[in-house]
Structure 1
Amino acid sequence: MTDRDVFLPVGAQPTLEDIVDQAVAAEELGYDRVWFPETWGRDAVTAMATTAERTDEIGIGSSIANIYSRSPALLGQTAATLQEASDGRFRLGVGPSGPLVVENWHGIEFGNPLRRTRETIEIVQRVLSGETVSYDCEYFSLDGFRLRCDPPEPAPPVDAAGLGPKAVELAGRFADGWHAVNYTRDGLRERLDDLRRGAELSGRDSSDLRVTLAVGCCALEDGERARELVAQHIAFYIGGMGTFYRDNLARQGYEEVAHEIYETWQEGEKERATTLVRKELRDQMGAAGTPAEARDQLQEFVDLNGLDAVNVSFPRGAGPEEVRETMTALAP
């Protein structure tokens, strides 16, 4: 059975209390896990720790903690602490983000994100095991680091985000799960083959890896506003968040429209970019409309083979009441 998770827009909500209230509501509505992003608003760790204290059963995870703004050792410490704070409900999701974020906002050279992701995952897993970490590779060289506290039991799983074939293969080789975002239903299937190949390269069974797909959702009585919010959200990511999402969509058979949306957005014609999404992509990448319409569309994602969880995420333009209405309408 496919889990139903929820992805909370940490930075966009009016207060930290609003975010935690949404997580509490997600638990009451029966969601399996609540994921916290970390972009340029509130940090995810504080929100997750506060949520752990206010909830009892719902899983908690980071989606995605970028591997440049925290060292691998610190990520391991953080995961161990959040596993303790949540009584074993934590799952760490990591990923490289992109040069727009890493270089412009954190002042760190982007370099080779695949290699850095692999090294980060390996170090975090060793930290969480409680062993003394001696590690010497391209990006990180550690000697003698060890948790001063007892290691978490069980150790929290470590998932990786990935868009391209090699990044998804890497998740299959080294991580405990894969986070997929901005995929069409057909496009996801091809990347699942990459995940399986990665698992095979490391001698693992891909069925042991947790695959989580984030789906942009909006379910409102005003179905037209819901559809427009999701179209705007998709256009923003393809057009305004660097080239990674554009290129990922192009690989899924939408090369012409992906580049057109990107170029149109970059020229400042955001409404025209949204119109392109509305016509060609919205129904392939999201679930939007009235509650009944959105539930039917979300079910098409739930029914995909190879998924362990569908992550209900919300458009960046949705207000707190629209987030709550959507969360309620699409609850398990």
Structure 2
Amino acid sequence: MALKLGLAMGYWGAGPPAGIADLVAQAESLGYDSMWTAEAYGSDALTPLAWLGASTSRIRLGTSIMQMAARAPVATAMAALTLDHLSGGRFVLGLGASGPQVVEGWYGQPYPKPLARTREYVAIVRQALAREVVSLAGEHYRLPFPGGTGLGKPLRPTIHPLRRDLPILLAAEGPKNVALAAEIADGWLAMFYSPASDAYYRQALEEGFSKPGARHTRETFEVTCRVNVEFDDDVEAAADRVRPMLALYVGGMGAKGANFHYEVFARMGFEAECARVQELYLAGRKDEASAAIPLAMVEAVALVGPREKIAEELVAWRSSLVTTMLVSGDAAKLATIAELVNE
């Protein structure tokens, strides 16, 4: 399977990024397969995707990710049905559980048992996407609501789906969640994936594919992954442009002892480095935390350095599980990445 490219737009900082509409047009003209938005606790994933997607005609429109705690499952399904119609069947629904700090602190929802919660959530979404009568008596979601006035009844969407098999991708980092994605989803939204860990993730995916009722095999399963690409003749200078982001996720995204990104790098063999980065970051010494990220840790998940070095390292990505590489940058960088991937 040829490696595809997607434009990673993420979520906004203090406001809308300048020039993003032109960048989307450039990505589509370069043959990029998809464009992806995200959300944390600021800009949402759907509104920018619909706004920017309206000026495109071919590129797929994906959410990476829509946070499940932000919307009832049927609200997510309604949005997916609507945007799929408006885009002519180009929408890709990327979902994720996020983490306890956001789920409980921002959305005021409980976080425990995220895998069981995800399974029920996706089941409800699939019922709605298929225009079935939506009903579930689960541990976390119960439709109709078993209380209140007692007048609730199972309903089906009023609109007919453009695609009953609209693809659902799940964000996952831990092995159990990766296996769940292989079992119940159409693809996996990977983060901080490393080609060096390919065998580890293949095993996790195979566990999911082997479950009764699994929707896919490895050959038909999509794996998208955000990959930082930084061109520079000075490898360390290129890595310096990635280090602050890694320090944020490893050191500050999640509480001590409950940081999934930290655990990913610890499994790669960087546990001591992660501990030091987290200690510095939580102490407010963010610059020192960034400086504590070794080059090997950056190179495990990113492509940094001269064009020739990046071209050589792309070989490992082409033979990995990843089917779509999500990248960001200005128009010139997007063009250069496209040239390298298509060589």
Q: Which TM-score applies when normalising by structure 1?
A: 0.90
Q: In the alignment, does 2:273 pair up with 1:257?
A: yes
Instruction: Call closer, same or farther: CA 1:83–1:99 in 2, change over 3 Å.
Output: same
Structure 2: how far apart are the matches of 1:85 and 1:203? 31
Number of aligned positions between the proteins:
323
Identity of aligned residues (%): 31
Q: Of 306, 309, 312, which aligns to 2:324?
A: 309
More helix by share: 1
Q: In the alignment, does 2:342 pair up with 1:330?
A: no
Structure 2: how far apart are the matches of 1:220 and 1:20? 26
Whether the 8 Å CA contact 1:200–1:206 is kept in 2: the answer is no
Residue range with higher mean Cα deviation, 89-98 or 136-145:
136-145
* Alignment-derived partner of residue 281 in structure 1: 297
* Alignment-derived partner of residue 151 in structure 2: none
Structure 1: how far apart are the matches of 2:238 and 2:28? 24
- Cα deviation for residue 137 of structure 1 reads 0.3
Local SS of the residue matching 2:20? helix
Q: Of 203, 220, 241, which aligns to 1:229?
A: 241
* Alignment-derived partner of residue 185 in structure 1: 195
Structure 2: how far apart are the matches of 1:182 and 1:28? 28
Instruction: Call closer, same or farther: CA 1:13–1:5 in 2, change over 3 Å.
Output: farther
Deviations 1:182-221 (A, max 9, x none): 1222224302211111111135423222111221223368
Structure 1: how far apart are the matches of 2:106 and 2:209? 34
Whether the 8 Å CA contact 2:129–2:164 is kept in 1: the answer is no
Deviations 1:142-190 (A, max 9, x none): 1313111112225310111111111111111111111110122222430
| 1:51-200 correspondence to structure 2 within 5 Å | 51-143=52-144, 144-200=154-210
Whether the 8 Å CA contact 2:34–2:61 is kept in 1: the answer is yes
Local SS of the residue matching 1:133? coil
Residue range with higher mean Cα deviation, 216-225 or 172-181:
216-225
Deviations 1:274-306 (A, max 9, x none): 2232433111110123444444434432332x3
Write the letter of the residue equivalent to 2:243: A
Residue range with higher mean Cα deviation, 176-185 or 264-273:
264-273
Structure 2: how far apart are the matches of 1:230 and 1:323? 16
Q: Of 313, 327, 330, which aligns to 1:297?
A: 313
Whether the 8 Å CA contact 2:10–2:64 is kept in 1: the answer is no
Structure 2: how far apart are the matches of 1:299 and 1:19? 30
Local SS of the residue matching 2:210? helix
Q: In the alignment, does 2:255 pair up with 1:244?
A: no
Instruction: Call closer, same or farther: CA 1:13–1:20 in 2, change over 3 Å.
Output: farther
Write the letter of the residue equivalent to 1:289: G
Write the letter of the residue equivalent to 1:185: P
Structure 1: how far apart are the matches of 2:33 and 2:70? 28
Structure 2: how far apart are the matches of 1:147 and 1:246? 41
- Cα deviation for residue 88 of structure 1 reads 0.7
Structure 1: how far apart are the matches of 2:334 and 2:234? 15
Structure 1: how far apart are the matches of 2:218 and 2:14? 36
Residue range with higher mean Cα deviation, 233-242 or 248-257:
248-257
* Alignment-derived partner of residue 26 in structure 1: 27
Where does structure 1 differ by over 6 angstroms across 4 or more consecutive aligned residues?
A: none
Whether the 8 Å CA contact 2:236–2:295 is kept in 1: the answer is no
Local SS of the residue matching 1:21? helix
Residue range with higher mean Cα deviation, 79-88 or 34-43:
34-43
Structure 2: how far apart are the matches of 1:194 and 1:31? 29
Deviations 1:17-76 (A, max 9, x none): 733332222111111111111123321111111122100111110001111011100111
- Cα deviation for residue 235 of structure 1 reads 1.6
Whether the 8 Å CA contact 2:10–2:36 is kept in 1: the answer is no
Write the letter of the residue equivalent to 2:5: R
Instruction: Call closer, same or farther: CA 1:235–1:189 in 2, change over 3 Å.
Output: farther
Write the letter of the residue equivalent to 1:67: M
Whether the 8 Å CA contact 1:114–1:167 is kept in 2: the answer is yes
The answer for unaligned runs of 5 or more in structure 2 is 145-153
Write the letter of the residue equivalent to 2:248: F
Structure 2: how far apart are the matches of 1:81 and 1:280? 44
Write the letter of the residue equivalent to 2:23: Q
Write the letter of the residue equivalent to 2:246: I
Whether the 8 Å CA contact 1:291–1:326 is kept in 2: the answer is no
Q: In the alignment, does 2:219 pair up with 1:211?
A: no
Structure 2: how far apart are the matches of 1:223 and 1:269? 24
Local SS of the residue matching 2:293? helix
Write the letter of the residue equivalent to 1:259: A
